[in-house]
Chain A
Amino acid sequence: MSSVTNEQLLPIVSIENEQLSYASGKKAQPVLSDLNLTIQAGERIALVGKSGCGKSTLLRHLRSSLKEPAWCPQDPGLVPMLSVLHNIYMGKLNQYSWITNLFHLIRPSNEIKLDIQAVAQQLEIANLLQNSVDQLSGGQQQRVALGRALYQQSDVFLGDEPLSAVDELQAKRLLDHILSAHETAIIALHDVNLAFSFATRIIGLKDGQIEIDQATTELTPDDLMRLY
């Protein structure tokens, strides 16, 4: 991983005076207005705020503005009948032709198996690779979704509460893996302590606006209380 620092100022995404809304089914999503935001390569950003404040809307917008970021949505969107291995494999579907994918669906090559094994080991689910996802617990399923995102091997990681269903200690270990595998990471979290433990920058949303956007070093956990 190349060590890009903030000083080099390579914006990977820039939002100016934009209004965001996201229609998803019948449920109206929160709207973000007068949005100004620039994200540089190498930043580790924690996205915090009350539930329903627009974190998911912002993440979705970032996903559509970036070129194939690693994406770990709140609803894992796994295919329950397929094995853990295949669900992780789906992170790379767009890198092969459909016929190659079909072969791997029927019989994954050893090379693929080893690659996925390595990802699964980091996530502590290597022993479950052949089980179908519908047999797993919520925490295990979340790690499979994380595995799918890691397997994409992208430069940027976008996660929407990717660690909400795992315990505190495991969350720390998983976070380390996410950070070491991606140059840039933008993660929505409800755990303020976890946010402070990794982020270089914290963005706080409230009532459809960016309320806080500062380097972590300039903030204390108490500053975030006004978001809630």
Chain B
Amino acid sequence: MPDNSAAKYRRVSLLFAVSALICLPFANLNINTLDPWTELGQIGYGFLTPDFSNPALLLEALGKTLAFAFQGVMLGVIFGLLLALFYQKTIVRQFSAFIRAIHEIFWALIFIQITGLSSATGVLAIAIPYTGIFAKIFGELLSEVDHKPLNAIVKNTKTLNSTLFIRLPLAWKHIKTYTCYRLECGIRSSAILGFIGLPTLGFHMETFYKQGMYDQGAAILYVFFLLIGTSRFWLKSKLIPLYVLASFWLLPWSSYGDWSLLMRFITEDIVPAPLKQPDLTLTEKLHALGSWGAHRWHNEIMPGILNTVVLSQISLIFTGVISLILFPWISHHFLNKLGRASGNTVLVVARSTPEYLLAFIGLLIFGPSMLPGILALALHNGAIVAHLIGLYSQSIKLRDDASSGLNRYFFEILPRIYRQFLAFLLYRWEVIMRETAILGILGIPTLGFYIDSAFEEIRFDRAILLILVAALLNILVDQIATWSRTRLHIQHRPESL
């Protein structure tokens, strides 16, 4: 077979398309509301008439959102950096992979059982997965530094010393840049944590939207857009220490909650129920555990995994399609300055709105099915990938007699961006899988749905088991994505995990 790059890309794309097609019959795509257009109209009207009449509430929610984000991300940076120093050790890499495979909302659901709706819950829910993310990115940054200074030092210098004195200073600039980028993600995570009860922007948004107060809900969303949209003006590395200090004033450690339940949670609550029955022998206990496990498998794990995978694969394909449709909107190969500015605005709004929020609004409009989940994931992630490949396409220089319009799109630009496009899509795959599980909390029967139900029924053993399953699924997808990238010879720094 002749060596042909385009054919290789086509085979990979076809593989993804086929996997989505196989998933399609299993997907519930019904519209379950009687009149989606009226609901949509009312939500739209709310956006036109936002109600800012309660600035005190807006300000407090805004402050709390930022405080959770800054404290959580800062703890993540500190512990992530510590882990990154030892990132060459397999155990550290696996540990980091594991803690970041559990979504911040799942961490929050766990901590709510121990410390209630306290500051600790919100801060730790962000800090723990972000530690895993920072460990990975910082670890890679440290290993990729210029090797010349390392070769110049005394041969038997301890690894830790050379890391601290050479690698860390060399990588410091990138570490700072990445931390700033992650802070923006942290703000999004913090806002979303409101949906499970913490006092951030998401909390009020959910309350207002559930009560049909779309004008007040829209006001919160506008504040959120303003916050993210202006971040490059105020989110500067020099100001971060100041923000962290301010966050302790807004969210003092004294409100960190009661830890007395921790031991009980670990030693009793999460132990599978059959093992806790006092009057059984060991063999009887193991037997009961077996049927308990089988029951979990048939009723929760299998349907949960199936729905998570089905929703992810379909969303992944739509993400790809949307990004390929949208990226020309911000590329000078297709549009003038004015056109590109409009494209940029649309992409900024779509990518700064968390998919959870989009899905929430989608559910109000379409009712509970996979449709709002697919739309939300595809729109948000599609806008991110479109932004990245749009930027990349700007660096392509065409010859003088290159074609224009759709001929230019299909023959000149698309083949040239396709490798990067696949790379970004593969990086988003794991993110989509993580988010898909989370959408279960909104009522789409993915793993998150069963996890949320288990917490509601106070069956912590079941909840923890399902969270572990979700984590393993994420790790598996991450492995497949890494393997595919190597096969395709795509090496590209991830913009986000």
Contact = CB atoms under 8 A, between A and B. Distances in A.
B3 A132 contact: yes
B411 interface: yes
B98 interface: no
A121 interface: no
Contacts of A90: 403, 411
A122 to B, nearest CB: 20
A70 B328 CA distance: 28
Contact of A93 (B407, B415, B419): B407
A86 B403 CA distance: 14
B4 A83 contact: yes
B403 A81 contact: no
Contact of A131 (B4, B9, B418): B4
Interface in A16-38: 25
A94 B407 CA distance: 8
B89 interface: no
B410 interface: yes
A98 B405 CA distance: 9
Contact of A77 (B7, B402, B405, B418): B402
A79 B412 CA distance: 6
B3 A131 contact: yes
Given A71-B400, A75-B399, A130-B4, A81 B407 contact: no
Nearest to B417: A81
**Interface residues of A toward B: which range?**
20 to 34
Contacts of B5: 80-81, 132, 134-135
Nearest to A83: B4
B410 A102 contact: yes
Contacts of A25: 397
B415 A79 contact: yes
Contact of A60 (B4, B6, B400): B400
Contacts of A80: 5, 415-416
A80 B9 CA distance: 13
Nearest to B415: A81
Q: Among A73, A94, A98, A101, find the residue whose CB has the most chain B CB atoms closer than 10 A.
A: A98
Nearest to B412: A79
Given A79-B415, A98-B410, A105-B411, A63 B400 contact: yes
A82 interface: yes
B407 A98 contact: yes
Contacts of A63: 400-401
B398 interface: yes
Q: Among B6, B397, B410, B418, find the residue whose CB has the most chain A CB atoms closer than 10 A.
A: B6
Contacts of B419: 81
B278 interface: no
B371 to A, nearest CB: 29
A204 B96 CA distance: 67
A77 B415 contact: no
B250 to A, nearest CB: 48
B25 interface: no
A83 B1 CA distance: 13
B400 A101 contact: no
Given A90-B411, A102-B410, A81 B397 contact: no
A141 to B, nearest CB: 13
A77 B399 CA distance: 5
A12 B398 CA distance: 27
B2 interface: yes
Given A81-B419, A101-B407, A71 B401 contact: yes
A77 B419 CA distance: 18
Q: Among A73, A76, A105, find the residue whose CB has the most chain B CB atoms closer than 10 A.
A: A105
Contacts of A81: 5-6, 9, 415-416, 418-419
Interface of A: 25, 60, 63, 71, 73, 75-77, 79-83, 86, 90, 93-94, 98, 101-102, 105, 128, 130-132, 134-135
Given A63-B400, A81-B9, 7 more contacts: A71-B399, A81-B418, A82-B411, A90-B411, A98-B410, A101-B407, A134-B5
15 contacts: A63-B401, A71-B400, A73-B401, A75-B399, A77-B398, A77-B399, A77-B402, A80-B5, A81-B6, A81-B415, A94-B407, A98-B407, A101-B406, A101-B410, A135-B4
Interface of B: 2-7, 9, 397-403, 405-407, 410-412, 415-416, 418-419
The 8 closest A-B pairs by CB, nearest first: A77-B399, A130-B2, A98-B406, A81-B5, A132-B5, A81-B415, A132-B4, A93-B403
